[in-house]
């Protein structure tokens, strides 16, 4: 299972999307996954020093896999795992509010 699939599975359970149609579930999951990934990328680049950003770009250009990049970020960013969890928690709370609002009008 990929990271995106794992994330989507967690979101399905935690956001209680089962009450939505399949199309709505897929749309919410897609948007939420994209948003989380963008927030993680933004937070990552904001947390890295300039020379670390250059090193990360070089790693990606060399074709580093996800695990190598993740290990690099864990080394360079204090509490990287915690940072990821905070981003996900905040976005899940935001999505819960939006879903509740959406369900009131359906």
pLDDT per residue, tens digit, the chain (106 aa), is: 566 667 677 777 777 777 778 888 888 778 877 888 888 889 998 999 999 999 999 999 999 998 899 899 999 999 998 998 888 888 878 777 777 777 677 6
pLDDT for res 33:
78
Cα separation, 36 vs 7, whole angstroms? 9
pLDDT for res 47:
92
CA distances from 18 to 24, 29, 34, 61, 90 (A): 10, 12, 20, 40, 21
Cα separation, 58 vs 60, whole angstroms? 5
pLDDT for res 1:
57
* Helix, strand, or coil (residue 45): helix
CA-nearest of 104, 15, 85 to 43 is 85
Torsion of CA 5, 97, 44, 12, to 10 degrees: -10
CB 66 within 8 Å of CB 14 = no
pTM above 0.75, yes or no: no
pLDDT for res 18:
72
């Amino acid at each position: 299972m990929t990271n995106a699939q794992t994330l989507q599975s967690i979101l399905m359970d935690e956001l209680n999307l089962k009450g939505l149609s399949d199309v709505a579930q897929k749309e919410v999951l897609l948007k939420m996954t994209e948003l989380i990934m963008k927030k993680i990328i933004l937070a990552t680049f904001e947390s890295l020093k300039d020379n670390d950003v250059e090193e990360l770009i070089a790693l990606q250009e060399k074709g580093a896999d996800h695990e190598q990049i993740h290990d690099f970020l864990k080394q360079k960013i204090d509490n990287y795992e915690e940072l990821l969890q905070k981003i996900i928690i905040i976005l899940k709370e935001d999505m819960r509010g939006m879903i509740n609002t959406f369900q009131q009008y359906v």
